[in-house]
Amino acid sequence: MNRTIILWRLASFAVAAGFIALWQLIANLKLVSPVFLPGPDRAWAALVHGFSSGDLCSKLIGTLEHMAYGWLAASIAGVAIGAMIGSSRLMRTYVAPSLEFLRPLPVSAIIPVAIAMLGLTQGMALFVIAFGAIWPIMLATIHGFAAVEPRLYEITRSLQMSRLAVIFKIALPSASPDIIAGMRLSLTVALILSVVCEILAGLDGLGHWVLLSARSFRSADLFAGVILLGVMGYATSLAMAVAENRLLKWQRVGH
Amino acid sequence: MAIALKRQEAPVSGLATPQIEFIDATLMLGGKTIIENLNLGVRPGEFLCIVGASGCGKTTALRLAAGLYQPSRGAVMFNGQPMLQPRRDIAIVFQDYGKALLPWRTAAGNVSLALEAVRMSAAQRPARIDELLRKVGLPGHAGKYPTEMSGGMQQRLQIARCLAQEPKALLMDEPFGALDAMTRQGLQDEVLSLTAASNATVIFVTHDLDEAIYLGDRIIGLLPHPGRIGIELSVNLPRPRDQLATREHPEFLRLRRQLFDFIKATEA
Amino acid sequence: MTIDRAKPLLLPLTVLAAFEAWARAAHLQSDSLAPPSAIMAALIGALADYSIPIATRDTLFSAFAGLAVGSLIGLALGIAFGISDVLNRLMEVTVEAIRPIPSIALLPIALIALGFGYRMEIVIVAFACIWPMLILSGAAVRGIEPRLMEVSRALRLPPAQRVLKIIIPAALPRIFVAFRLSAGIALIVAVTVEIAINPIGLGAGIMLAQQALRPDLMLAYLVWIGLIGYGLNVLLILAQRRLFGRAALG
């Protein structure tokens, strides 16, 4: 890779390390009470301890599972429903506007309704996460399907391709940049809703962990959990970016 | 059946059925009459060029022949049967090649699309793809994406995909309009050799009069508003055509004059 | 043209009417569903006895305060990072490390530090609003026509004036779009914090209604929250059109 890029990266890491040192200084000088702000040393110790005792590991997996199941369900349903609506002009006129109207609605407001229907259970969490994560994907799919180059549809008529072939060979690939962008957004939503549901329903996961740590004023454990959540957010985002790179290779090539 | 003024005469060979036939075809779009009472028969294997000023309906006539539009009145026939929808054995080459190729598939993938549509088995496809790419002068480019190719190459790729349909008729809508002169001339000769080899019927729409005379057996000039035949010329130039010799032929120059006067008159 | 305008309303109105009819016919008794008429009644009642208006005031206060703080910080940093490429590159790792932390994960920290109430909610909303503003206004500044930057240098304007007179006005349309996005996020985060734990505002209201087994009131809050979200978005889009014209941006 480019030498300048590597140098800048290192400098950037150095700056970040500097901030951590500043954090440590503030903690050492007790400028903020250690009850609220543990130093990075204590947070790291709590992280290590949490993993070696297996606690944090199981909590991490708990949140990951909530995220993953909800997001997967949302992806499949979102693409399927979005494809159906996006490829039919009738549906686009009558259905799509209502969906656009619902877009700015805070999805967390569905949580009490879900609790009323399903109680404080895993099922409720899965429903909420899937419901929240479906919107970016579905709306992106509708947009992607509606924006397919009409010339391509004429070619499919000339080739007399079946409806299924048109969807899988033309519409889906054409819409894939939009769909993947939607899936990235959904991943963020899924993480947030997982944490909220864990806090509310006491389900096993990092959200629950940080809440318990807060209640018992174990600030080091609390920070360890928060850091881990940040790492989760970063790692899943990175994974999506890599996948996007490979799937959408064709967008980047050429002049 | 009443025979309209500009119907072509029955060819000497005796096989009188045209392959593509417009019978009193009229098309109205958005309240306007684009084409009115078009009567035209295209013989199998014929190379027909359609010229005319902008907006005279040349592209519309082509799309009617392709089955992409249905006439408001009259009929468009293919081998004696009315064309109610597009057919797999009629291939269309569009002018905007960028929009007519799949950007997410390589050159091979784009050609493969047509082969998949005609249900060729996966095992047979690679050989046929190589053959077609070689025919249009794109050997070794199978793995490239359309965005990595020049305009001329993309248009050749589109032609390759159309040839993959084993078309009985090839409809071309100003296919070389967006390309530079040298690329255009090369592709003109390629189209001639490809269609001569397969004996496909060609309807070629262009606004370039020289190109129409160079390529065609017959030229139709359309008058605008509404579109109808204004002139019909037979091109009696020797084949195979040659970029230098044919264009200097006295017959070429005579036809050129005729067409030029026709276009001038319509634009007046 | 009015027929075209009415088409999008057809589906929701039909669904509501059908639901109403079914709820009445089936004598619906449920903890989670209520007929639209009951929802309407509950909404009007809660508006009349000021419970919803007070809750709305609380939520909007927290959301806007958090939005103001967060977007100002984000804007300042974004402009700084946009102007100075060096600063941008040096801060890259730090920003990319903190940004992915879900704002909701800070809830327990804010809770033990500030207790229940407005302050903790404002802090969390502010945190959530910093990032979109930072990144998008940074991009907006970087996207300014280079010619304008050259002009400002040629005029030898002092930095503060350069920012105020050239950079901010030039990047303003895109900055406003970023602000619109952040405003939506602010509302969502505020409501989410209230639903999760904070006993004030619309989020608390809807949770209380659910716990009191009053589906009509709960759904009334849901509808109201949706209306507020939609109304806020529409207001900002109108403001954008007034300030920057139709063609400005998406």
Given an 8 Å threshold on Cβ–Cβ distance, is C94 in contact with A12?
yes
Q: Which of B66, B96, B102 sits opposite A158 (nearest CB)?
A: B66
Contacting chains of B (3 CB pairs or more, <8 Å) are A
The first and second tokens of residue A32, run together, are: 């903020």
* CATH 3.40.50.300 boundaries in chain B: 20-89+167-267
The first and second tokens of residue C224, run together, are: 């109201």
Which residues pair with residue B76 across a beta bridge? B22
- pLDDT for C30 beyond 80: no
pLDDT of residue C61: 94
Chains C vs A: touching, with 3+ CB pairs under 8 Å? yes
Rounded to whole angstroms, how far apart are CA atoms B77 and B59? 18
Q: Which residues on chain B are in Cβ contact (under 8 Å) with A253?
A: 145, 147-148
Residues whose CB falls within 8 Å of the CB of residue C117, separated by 6 or more in sequence, listed in order: C198, C200
Residue C130 and residue C73 in contact, taking contact as beta carbons nearer than 8 Å: yes
pLDDT of residue C11: 83
Q: Which residues on chain B are in Cβ contact (under 8 Å) with A246?
A: none
pLDDT of residue C250: 44
Given an 8 Å threshold on Cβ–Cβ distance, is A104 in contact with C232?
yes
Residue of B nearest to A149 (CA): B99
Give domain A36-252's CATH architecture: Orthogonal Bundle (1.10)
CATH, domain range B20-89+167-267: 3.40.50.300
In the stretch 144-183 of chain A, residues with CB closer than 8 A to chain C read: none
Q: What is the 3-state secondary structure (H, E, C) of chain B?
A: CCCCCCCCCCCCCCCCCCCEEEEEEEEEECCEEEEEEEEEEECCCCEEEEEECCCCCHHHHHHHHHCCCCCCEEEEEECCEECCCCCCCEEEECCCHHHHCCCCCCHHHHHHHHHHHCCCCCCCHHHHHHHHHHHCCCCCCCCCCHHHCCHHHHHHHHHHHHHCCCCCEEEEECCCCCCCHHHHHHHHHHHHHHHHHHCCEEEEECCCHHHHHHHCCEEEEEECCCEEEEEEEECCCCCCCCCCHHHHCHHHHHHHHHHHHHHHHHHC
Chains C vs B: touching, with 3+ CB pairs under 8 Å? no
Question: C-alpha distances in angstroms, C12 versus A101, A104, C9, C19?
Answer: 11, 17, 6, 10
Q: For chain A, what are the domain ranges?
A: 1-31, 36-252
Chains B vs A: touching, with 3+ CB pairs under 8 Å? yes
Rounded to whole angstroms, how far apart are CA atoms C192 and A107? 8
Q: Which residues on chain C are in Cβ contact (under 8 Å) with A222?
A: 108-109, 112
Query: Interface of chain A against chain B, CB under 8 Å?
Result: 149, 151-152, 154-155, 157-161, 165, 169-170, 173-174, 176, 250-251, 253-255
Given an 8 Å threshold on Cβ–Cβ distance, is C105 in contact with A112?
no
Q: Which of A151, A157, A161 sits opposite B96 (nearest CB)?
A: A151
Given an 8 Å threshold on Cβ–Cβ distance, is B100 in contact with A151?
yes
Give the pLDDT confidence of B200-240 residue by residue, as tens digits. 999 999 999 999 999 999 999 998 888 888 899 999 998 88
- pLDDT for A152 beyond 70: yes
Structure-token match 């309906």, residue found: B57
pLDDT of residue B12: 42
Q: What is the mean pLDDT of chain C?
A: 87
pLDDT of residue C100: 87
Contacting chains of A (3 CB pairs or more, <8 Å) are B, C
Q: Is domain C54-244 classified as CATH 1.10.3720.10?
A: yes
Q: Which residue has the higher pLDDT, A97 or B107?
A: B107
pLDDT of residue C189: 93
Residues whose CB falls within 8 Å of the CB of residue C207, separated by 6 or more in sequence, listed in order: A112, C194, C195
pLDDT of residue A159: 93
* Positions of chain B with pLDDT under 70: 1-16
Q: Which residues on chain B are in Cβ contact (under 8 Å) with A254?
A: 145-149
In the stretch 16-45 of chain A, residues with CB closer than 8 A to chain C read: 16, 19, 35-36
pLDDT of residue B15: 53
For testing the chain A interface, which of C1, C52, C60, C92 should be mutated: the one with the most A CBs within 10 Å?
A: C92
In the stretch 92-131 of chain C, residues with CB closer than 8 A to chain A read: 92-94, 96-98, 100-109, 111-113
Query: Interface of chain B against chain A, CB under 8 Å?
Result: 66-68, 85-88, 90-92, 94, 96, 99-100, 102-105, 113-114, 116-118, 145-149, 165
Rounded to whole angstroms, how far apart are CA atoms B212 and B214? 6
pLDDT of residue A31: 80
Give the pLDDT confidence of C47-85 residue by residue, as tens digits. 889 889 999 999 999 999 999 999 999 999 999 998 888
Mean pLDDT value across residues A148-170: 92
Give the pLDDT confidence of C118-158 residue by residue, as tens digits. 999 999 999 999 999 999 998 888 888 888 888 888 888 88
Residue of C nearest to A98 (CA): C8
